[in-house]
Structure 1
Amino acid sequence: MPCRIPSRAALAVAALLASSSFLVPAHAAEAAAKTKAAGQRTQSQHAARSVRNDGDPDVVTYGRREDVMRFAADVAQKYDLDEAWVQQQLEQARYLPSVARLIMPPAVSTAKNWAAYRARFVEPQRIAAGLRFWQENERWLAQAEQRWGVPASLVVGIIGVETYYGRNMGGFRVLDALATLSFDFPSGRSDRSGFFRDELAQLLVWSRREGMAPAGVRGSYAGAVGLPQFMPSNVNKLAVDFDGDGHVNLMGSAADAIGSVANYLASHGWQPGLPTHFSVAPPANTADRAALLVPDIVPSFTPAQFAERGAALERAAQDAQGPLALVQLYNGDAEPSYVAGTQNFYAVTRYNWSSYYALAVIELGAAVAAAR
């Protein structure tokens, strides 16, 4: 989830790509909802925690748990918040068994398939919704492109993949989701409770600054919010008040969402005017192809080095500034697809660490632009 990631794109990353990334966690809800819970929960050692017969924590105990109250004191001190206020907010947090299930990897892995992944997002209804979004927000998209150098099509592509232009922003209380993953992270996968505790603290900081109740914020099961599915830390660091009303509102202001997405990409190395990728025919020699694939999506080779290894780039790429990456996308049992990714392709993957996600965003945005 910007950052990563946790949104709706990793539901396809989870189901079609068998990904377990937390960088953009908000994408996985639809597919992860179909998975089974894995294993039994381990009872906390904290004496203040009560447990029901089914092994899940009592939904009303967060405000009485010693570890939660220590967390409240630490957050209050670190961010100069009123400790009583922090405690009061955490007392409203509830354990959500569904969140503990949804954060788990898919029970059954499936073969990566770029064609199937693309088809979920680059399709007529989403393109039509993107066209309406562009027409309604043309002013803000143009201003964002002028200010940050990020093409309007790319911003439109990201918001379209993330939330279907606001249709799927998530219905979980973010306070509950983050508390569950902070204090009762499920066993069976790498423990990311520290990451989610940081995000819970950032939710409290953001809520206090904006004068809103943390319990009223809705988002994904992993805590991502709004049209662009920002985690709370990215709201505090990179979201912008683009419409100038004195508040950052990613849930209700398309202008703020547009400006925030553009600012996020600019902050992660976007270079104005540079294409995101070029077409390429990979080397026929297996060893040469493997050598170019070693850095994965990190741009590492010059066009000349591509040619030395037998990769055939399109003419425009031969004069490209900066390094390139040979990006491989599997198509199930069919032959893989390849592109030569630039620094800007890599910048898009900082939003969600997946080449499949990045190319879907780029192609959806291009399709919407073509429909104009």
Structure 2
Amino acid sequence: MLHFPKFALIFVACCAIPVSATAKKHPKKRAPVAAEAQAPAESLLYASRPDAMQFADDLAERRDLDPAWVRAVIGRARFLPQVPRLMLPAPRGTAKNWSAYRARFVEPVRIRAGVRFWNENADALAQAEQEYGVPAEIIVGILGVETLYGQHMGKLRVIDALATLSFDFPSAHPRATERQQYFRSELEQYLSLIYRSGADPFDARGSYAGAMGLGQFMPSSWARWAVDFDRDGHIDLFGSAADAIGSVANYFVAHGWTAGLPTHFPVHLDAARLDLDALLAPDILPTFSVAAMAAKGAMVDGAGAAYGGKLALIELENGGDAPTFVAGTDNFYAVTRYNWSSYYAMAVIELGQAVAAARGGESLRGQ
């Protein structure tokens, strides 16, 4: 199991820029990277790619890592041909369907697993809610949607996924340059974490995007927001439910979560004065007051009618049927910082609500 000691993560998080010229060079020499028993075809290894090896040299200099170690690790990374295809967006014109999307996550298997997870980790969830102000059901919703509470954490080697997306990101993607740079920064952060901790760079398994653990943290998120919530001296987002719970809560606080604030309120639309284009223009960013939304034909219902903060009109398309609308608060926006999708955020919220209801608990629902 991959462990990153707490001290190592603090060091890396503080060293996102190059170390000073006075720092001792390469304080740890890593052992040479052994060849695998059954090596893949050389054409699949990044050792044969000049751009990958140049990146390795530059990374080693920026992060003060052993250049031979970085070259050896990146050189043994494999190109995964299926990964670039998975990064391409759905073809233009593909209809979105909230009902179908919801049914993938808010369903009996995940709800039962969520109840078990909550019952087994009730103390850690209560502690996270007390310390961070993030309700247990939101954390439970995240871990259920992401990995079914650790059952589906991904089986690809993280080094392979990150290398593939760093050097072979699909050019057909509309934001290919930006996204490739993002994955190169994640590869850099991953190797920095591994090097400082002494872990094996080929051990970690994750998603096709390189996300790891119960909460599917990218390496930069691990470095910045992962916490040793069970206080055992190291951070383990693969095997410690408590660490995953605390880390998800810490992530939300860092991205603007406000304790006690609902995620959304119900709305109804007045067709006679509805200015849907204006209401949807800011997308999921809370922009409108209750009065401003009403002036454009979207009336906030229930407790939301007296809400004094900013709101966003969230549209969830339902294929050929009428869309679903809600008014999202800053906390709804905070959930989308985990995955930039209103469909994802609503699935997290409603799965958490369903698990809470199944175990007889309170639910953070818009009134």
TM-score class, shorter-chain normalisation, is: 0.7 to 0.9
**Aligned residue number for residue 127 of structure 2:** 143
Q: Which runs of 5+ in 1 are unaligned?
A: 1-55
TM-score (norm 2): 0.82
**Aligned residue number for residue 79 of structure 2:** 95
TM-score (norm 1): 0.81
Superposed CA offset, 1:237-278 (max 9, x none): 111111112222111111111111111111110010100000
Q: SS of the residue aligned with 1:91?
A: helix
CA distance in 1, matches of 2:297, 2:152: 44
Give 1:287 shift: 4.8
Give 1:306 shift: 1.9
CA distance in 2, matches of 1:334, 1:67: 49
CA distance in 2, matches of 1:237, 1:254: 18
Q: SS of the residue aligned with 2:283?
A: coil
CA contact (8 A) 2:290 2:308 kept: no
**Aligned residue number for residue 295 of structure 2:** 308
Q: SS of the residue aligned with 1:237?
A: helix
CA contact (8 A) 2:274 2:297 kept: no
**216-225 or 203-212: which moved more?**
203-212
CA distance in 2, matches of 1:127, 1:210: 36
The one-letter amino acid of 1:228's match is G
- Asked if 1:360 is matched to 2:347, the reply is yes
Give 1:71 shift: 1.3
Q: SS of the residue aligned with 1:250?
A: coil
Give 1:64 shift: 4.0
CA contact (8 A) 2:273 2:296 kept: no
Q: 1:261 aligns with which of 248, 251, 254?
A: 248
CA distance in 2, matches of 1:252, 1:346: 29
CA contact (8 A) 1:92 1:215 kept: no
Q: What is the CA RMSD across the aligned residues, in angstroms?
A: 1.7
CA contact (8 A) 2:274 2:298 kept: no
Q: 2:317 aligns with which of 305, 317, 330?
A: 330
- Asked if 1:120 is matched to 2:104, the reply is yes
Aligned 1:52-91 pairs, distance under 5 A? 58-60=43-45, 62-91=46-75
The one-letter amino acid of 1:152's match is A
Give 1:315 shift: 3.0
Give 1:104 shift: 2.5
Give 1:326 shift: 0.9
CA distance in 2, matches of 1:286, 1:304: 13
Q: SS of the residue aligned with 1:329?
A: strand
Give 1:109 shift: 5.2
Q: Which runs of 5+ in 2 are unaligned?
A: 1-40, 360-367
Q: 1:160 aligns with which of 144, 157, 169?
A: 144
CA contact (8 A) 1:150 1:272 kept: yes
CA distance in 2, matches of 1:176, 1:310: 50
Aligned 1:160-199 pairs, distance under 5 A? 160-189=144-173, 190-191=175-176, 192-199=179-186
**Aligned residue number for residue 274 of structure 1:** 261
CA distance in 2, matches of 1:319, 1:180: 50
Superposed CA offset, 1:93-152 (max 9, x none): 111112122223345853111111111111111100000000111111111111110000
- Asked if 1:244 is matched to 2:231, the reply is yes
CA distance in 2, matches of 1:224, 1:249: 14
**127-136 or 98-107: which moved more?**
98-107
CA distance in 2, matches of 1:210, 1:110: 44
Q: How many residues align?
A: 316
Give 1:70 shift: 1.8
Give 1:282 shift: 2.0
Q: SS of the residue aligned with 1:335?
A: strand
Aligned 1:36-51 pairs, distance under 5 A? none
Change (3 A) 1:368 1:231: same
CA contact (8 A) 1:303 1:318 kept: yes
CA contact (8 A) 2:265 2:302 kept: no
Q: SS of the residue aligned with 1:70?
A: helix
**Aligned residue number for residue 49 of structure 1:** none
Give 1:57 shift: 8.0
CA distance in 1, matches of 2:260, 2:42: 52
Q: SS of the residue aligned with 2:228?
A: coil
CA distance in 2, matches of 1:277, 1:229: 25
CA distance in 2, matches of 1:102, 1:262: 29
The one-letter amino acid of 2:44's match is V
The one-letter amino acid of 1:361's match is V
Give 1:174 shift: 0.8
Change (3 A) 1:300 1:106: closer
